[in-house]
Amino acid sequence: MTSVSTQSEQINDQAKLNDKQINRLPLLRTIQTPADLKKLSIDELPQLATEIRQAICHQVSQTGGHLAPNLGVVELTIALHYVFDFGHDRLLFDVGHQCYPHKLLTGRLDLFGKLRTSEGMSGFPEPLESPYDLFSVGHAGTAISTAVGMARGDNMTGKEDRKVVSLIGDSSIANGVAMEGLNNAGTLKRQFLVVLNDNGMSIAQPQGALASYFDHVRVNQAYGDLKKRAREVIERLPGGHAVVEAYHRFGEIAKAALAHDHMFEHFGLVCLGPIDGHDLPTLIDMLNEVKDINRPVLLHCKTIKGKGFSFAEGDATAFHSPKPFVVEGCRVEVKSGGRSFTTAYADAMCDMMKTDDKIFAVTAAMADGTGLAKVATEYPDRTLDTGICESHAMDMCAGMAKTGVKPFFAVYSTFAQRALDQIFQEVSLQGLAVRVCMDRAGYVGGDGAVHHGFMDISIFRLFPKAALLASSDEVNLRAGLEFMRQYDEGASFIRYPRDSVASVPLEAQTPPYELGKAHLVRPAKTKRPDVAILALGMTVYAANEAIDELEYQGYRPALYDARFATPVDIDLLRELIEADIPILTIEDHTLVGGFGSAVLEACNDHQLSTSKIQRLGMPQTWVRQDSRSKQLNDHGLDAQGIARRVRQMLETPQSKPVTSKKKTNV
């Protein structure tokens, strides 16, 4: 077999392959279904693994995507498809971002060239693409529970011959839901296999006692004579006498790998390993031995995140989900865009923490993705990554707030809802001031439906004393965070997109945020505007560009930065409605229960007419992966869509297109 160092050098070169070369992969091009994979000899599989890594490195270098986690599961995925028949059996992924090798082995190489676009392949399991994908999943901790459900369902419907496998990785085993799933998996009286992909990593460095336990297991070679002690061990397991039968059915390799002191044996699972997750012959032998065992089994596999690409192996966090990159000799240059909201947030947090020693920054396994990696470098004693456990992180923040600390929890919008119950019970019900900073709000681009931040306003604005803010640029992000720092009446939330901040903001300075008050950004050119646009968050910039077009066509809109999704500016609404001025609300959020809904409800509560209020936002439909700009354009949230909607509101024939438009600095 090729050595790791030599293979790394080969893969580094392969990342530079052009499209013509990528289509000449001799083995991978022959794999249309896993049945084709089974035609290969075991000796040919290492070459197939190299070709899969070659394809992944090349494509991610072009489009961006999840690199390191997929490189780490190539052999595991090949072995699983080589042994099982997942056209009949069940394969569930946890986490979903380790699915690229699986997709390449199930006939989707032709879609791979348009990875993360609506015309190509999703970066996560997607049943619309293939029957081999059972769930569309992008969150952690879910697969064991859904696999238990499928196992029980198959038993009830007479399909108990279908084997069930859950592949769990990137430390999502530490998620509370995964533990609940394991607790129930141990009660099954049938075949059930959990493959633990233990790469010593989460999305970033794993956190917590469980991570330390796995570190110990990975390096501890003192297992003793397992064959001699195996019967004694399994008899101590819950239901251990029943496992004796399973033990007798093991081959020698499984008996040798039986872990006599693995923590998950206490869940009622037969635990094997750890074994080398890159050793294809051993993996295949092991899977063949355990696939028919009529008991729940956990197979613990050691893997290297980023395997085969030296840059990813050396910095698996940076190459977890990189932007497009170019290999230049001994270095990799990642293509960069403008200054991101994430970077702006990190800098703002560092500046606030200089002046307020009560601020404590928290994230849940997303230190790089939320910008807190930089904060942790400057303030290591006041920054904490809890690992993939948003519910725990929120409860911990509640406890800290109870003591007078000011916790700021940085989290993707799509993951914030995983802590909804904790925001209800431990935060809002107690009247505690926890600050939640939601990155990736609105459309997120290539990650698609599993990651769109489309519901945070709907679910969080219902809590008493909650303040929901949105920032349109870096100036307003800083002003919003400063408001949250001083807001002690209840929970506060700020949302901002996966996008770049304006290089030249609409306003160099902005007035401080005042609870529930909008800010006039662009007055109408006449005393009485034709329409008042209340834009939330970064939609302010698209609306401003739309006004350039509308003014050229003779319209006179006024533009307000709404700033707050709740409470809304009822004084402004009353003023506009009493002046009979039409209102258009705009938000990068679902219309169901969003900012526009909050405006309508507030007007109804104050007996104000809503007949001239219209809403523009994300439709109630699933939006597939693509660029964020295309997602906004497709749903009328770009400048042209906003201008078109204003013209429709005012019931005026559409003017001829503008030949020259002023560009925003976004």
Residues annotated as part of the active site: 305, 390, 418
| Cis status, amide bond into 497, omega within 30 of 0 | no
State how beta strands 467-470 and 564-566 pair: antiparallel
d(CA 637, CA 655): 20
Contact 107, 86 (CB under 8 A): no
User: Which residues have C-beta within 8 Å of that of residue 329, sequence separation ≥ 6?
Assistant: none
Tokens of 77: 């995925």
CA nearest 177: which of 363, 24, 4, 389?
Answer: 389
User: Which residues have C-beta within 8 Å of that of residue 588, sequence separation ≥ 6?
Assistant: 441, 442, 443, 497, 536, 537, 538, 539, 617, 618, 632, 637
Handedness of CA 383, 384, 390, 394 (dihedral sign): negative
Amino acid at 502: A
CA nearest 383: which of 416, 417, 423, 349?
Answer: 349
For tokens 């439909």, what's the residue?
621
Q: Residue 633 in 3-state DSSP?
A: helix
For tokens 């690409």, what's the residue?
309
CA nearest 666: which of 536, 538, 551?
Answer: 538
H helix intervals, 322-409: 341-355, 372-378, 390-402
| Cis status, amide bond into 567, omega within 30 of 0 | yes
CA nearest 210: which of 184, 175, 186?
Answer: 175
